Structure 1
Amino acid sequence: MAMKNVLFITNLPTPYRIDFYRELGKLCDLTVVIEARRSKDLHFNWNDNDITTFKLHYLNDDNLNEKKINWSILKYLSKSKFDVIVVSCYHTYTGMLSLAYMKAKHIPYLFETDGGMIAEIESSIKKSYKTTLIKGAKAYFSPSEGSDKYLAYYGASKDRIHRYPFSSLSDADILQHPLSSDEKLSIRKRLGVKESKMILAVGQFIHRKGFDVLMEAAKDMDRNIGIYIVGGKPTEEYLEMQRKYDLTQVHFEGFKTKNELAEYFKAADLFVHPTREDIWGLVINEAMAYGLPVITTNKCVAGMELVTDKDCLIDTDNPSQLKAIMETLMDDDVRRNNIASDNLRKIAGYTVEKMAEAHIKVFEGM
């Protein structure tokens, strides 16, 4: 079968997306059109000149302006140029133009989402607007059951929704087996971890991530369990909580590179992500790839999709429930090890290689 000629349209470049396109480009003749670059001050794990498996085009070399239409997208939207066109962003004006143009010209296209949640409160006008944009695709790519429901709610035909394993990981990123206690201890010594056990959390210090709930849960826990939060500079709110509760076992570790962060994942006994909402949450994939048991909330789509021990899916804003499950797992080495092994088996199906294969399967059926 001849390789499909595929166009992918998205808004911004991200490392995991570039890795996915690299894999997808090995399986089809791929062109990727990105609306804009990110800030030139940010450095990522690729160089555009090193991309060889697909063709990459930026519509704009400046930062993204979501409310500005870039009309140059229209030159790519042709029935004759591509066998398959995939739109993976619909909230920018250029994305909306792409969808409206293809609908008007009866150009078949596919729609991809990284995740979505049905709004609890939404006006009929806003729902109608979303429905107009989302409905009408020849096929839909969805990463989860919740995203299936989101797409169907906004007009997608259920029989056109295809599941794919959303991930930022490659096959090589996943450990073959959980690290032993001795291996973790050795890494913790290198990192300067003084406590006998270690819990890790990763993310920005913003309200949505729920680190205040983690700190509230920690105030009455064993001080020999270190809690390490990686991901930027804490705001005064978190520093004040640390002082108020004398949380000497809670450490703010700042930003880490990918390689540095890998050491923290390997050193930890448990990963906690007390988010108030995540339409996916790729950090869950990453923690599982290092063989970590994961505790997260029932508002984290990745957790609901990937975490098999349902005791580890807690309510949001519930520090007592979080404290209880953290203490239960930290006191039970056997259960932690069993969960770690289960997580490694589960996450092996969630790689950019598997993600590319799932897309090709749908393309070949078009």
Structure 2
Amino acid sequence: MNKLLIIGEFPAPYRVEVFADLAKHWSSKVYFEYQQDEKRTAEWLSRVSVDCNILDNPSAKKEFKQDIKNLKSYEAVILYNNCLKNAIILELFCKLKRVPYFINCDGCNDIEESNPLKKALKCFLMRGAAGYFAGGQSAVKYFEYYGANRKRIHLHNFTSLHQEDINKKLLSNAEKNCLKEKIEMTGKFNVVTVGRHIECKGFDIVLKAAEKIGKSVDFYIIGGEPSVENKQYKEAHNLSSVHFVDFLGKDELREYYNAADLFVLMTRGDTWGLVINEAMANGLPVITTKRCVAGVELIKDGENGYIIDVDDTEALVNKVLMLRDNEELCRQMSFANINKMQTNTIDQIAKDHIQVLESFFKKRSSK
């Protein structure tokens, strides 16, 4: 059986599941650069059958060095973020030992590299890959910028969704009203935004828009304890239409998506923005910025949502009011998003990867 060596950034569930599917086809060993939460990592890894190591302890680092020493025993290496230290080391040894390697990129905002030495190194490493997994067109552009062979770039839809996470149809008004009552969503037109209370998420712009719009639209900002600045702004401007909601579990968050009328993400920079996929899968029109890769990839302006400039409060206000006052347009966008998400699943990512790798191994064995 062919052996794979895989290195990723951190063990997010959607990533681990793809690796687990690869492990069903080939003997696979997985390393992650770090973990964000030890307890959650243990819980995620307990659900899948895959050999994982976190490079945050001496034992794992020693094993990683041993695998680099024995790199020729692997038929291929997959690098899921080739900009991190251990991935770069592994990439260099792949070139030195002539071990085929594949590079993944989910998406990218800032493609160009101003430092000529860094760019030269990236080009040197990038051009040697056997293949490239691109999560969208921005990833394709990223690979091409650093000299990747276009014929070796394989496009897939980046997502964290399973089929059961995607609505099959629009909810009826009765179903939405039932959910609103359950979660105490009281507004006539309800906007949801999701993320941590950090500056780049643009919640300050949402608050300014809420102030301009007034009480005809309710805003639900979901993502834990609000920042001091956001809390003070709400209090100072008496924004009773703004509701701060704590972190929610997957099922609870889905109730908010399904009860709401519109999703907004005023990000100042997201490498992807998986909440866009989630909102679309639950039939919400989407307003986001030009700095949200998921939005740029998935939203066609005016058809299933709107793409606006970063920090453009007026544009946000105008688009929210337009959708508030046009129920049929909202409905059309909701329907378009549900349809668009039907094949946007983790399973499909794994299938795409497997198809590429099977083809590669078949060609290699026939030489």
Q: TM-score, normalised by structure 1?
A: 0.90
CA contact (8 A) 2:323 2:330 kept: yes
Partner of 1:263: 255
In the TM superposition, residue 249 of structure 1 has moved relative to its aligned partner by 0.3
Give the aligned length. Answer: 356
CA contact (8 A) 1:11 1:89 kept: yes
Q: Look up the equivalent residue of 1:359 and give its one-letter code.
A: H
Q: How does 1:221-300 map to 2 (within 5 A)?
A: 221-300=213-292
Partner of 2:7: 9
What SS is found at the alignment partner of 1:312?
A: strand
| Deviations 1:73-104, CA, capped at 9 Å, x for gaps | 24335565433321112232211110011111
After the TM superposition, which of the residue ranges 355-364 and 149-158 deviates more from structure 2?
149-158
* 2:93 equivalent to 1:101: yes
Which residues of structure 1 form unaligned runs of 5+?
none
Q: Residues 120 and 316 (structure 1 numbering): CA distance in 2 closer, same or farther, change over 3 Å?
A: farther
CA contact (8 A) 1:15 1:45 kept: no
CA distance in 2, matches of 1:153, 1:49: 39
After the TM superposition, which of the residue ranges 340-349 and 111-120 deviates more from structure 2?
111-120
CA distance in 2, matches of 1:259, 1:145: 31
* 2:318 equivalent to 1:324: yes
Q: Residues 289 and 251 (structure 1 numbering): CA distance in 2 closer, same or farther, change over 3 Å?
A: same
In the TM superposition, residue 245 of structure 1 has moved relative to its aligned partner by 2.4
What SS is found at the alignment partner of 1:325?
A: helix
Q: How does 1:110-189 map to 2 (within 5 A)?
A: 110-119=102-111, 122-189=114-181
CA contact (8 A) 2:111 2:142 kept: no
Partner of 1:75: 66
Partner of 1:202: 194
Q: Look up the equivalent residue of 1:75 and give its one-letter code.
A: Q
RMSD of equivalent CA atoms? 2.3
Q: Residues 58 and 45 (structure 1 numbering): CA distance in 2 closer, same or farther, change over 3 Å?
A: closer
| Deviations 1:81-138, CA, capped at 9 Å, x for gaps | 4333211122322111100111111111111112223356722223223333333101
CA distance in 1, matches of 2:189, 2:314: 20
Partner of 2:364: none
In the TM superposition, residue 315 of structure 1 has moved relative to its aligned partner by 0.9
CA contact (8 A) 1:8 1:30 kept: no
Give percent identity, aligned residues only: 33
CA distance in 1, matches of 2:22, 2:131: 18
CA distance in 1, matches of 2:54, 2:292: 33
Q: Look up the equivalent residue of 1:247 and give its one-letter code.
A: L
CA distance in 2, matches of 1:245, 1:323: 17
What SS is found at the alignment partner of 2:212?
A: coil
CA contact (8 A) 1:291 1:344 kept: yes
Q: TM-score, normalised by structure 2?
A: 0.90
State which of 331, 345, 358 in structure 2 corresponds to 1:364. 358
CA contact (8 A) 2:193 2:264 kept: yes
CA contact (8 A) 1:110 1:138 kept: yes
| Deviations 1:199-222, CA, capped at 9 Å, x for gaps | 000001111111111111111214
CA distance in 1, matches of 2:204, 2:231: 10
Which residues of structure 2 form unaligned runs of 5+?
361-367
* 2:337 equivalent to 1:343: yes
Q: Residues 34 and 264 (structure 1 numbering): CA distance in 2 closer, same or farther, change over 3 Å?
A: same
Q: Residues 159 and 40 (structure 1 numbering): CA distance in 2 closer, same or farther, change over 3 Å?
A: closer
Q: Residues 186 and 297 (structure 1 numbering): CA distance in 2 closer, same or farther, change over 3 Å?
A: same
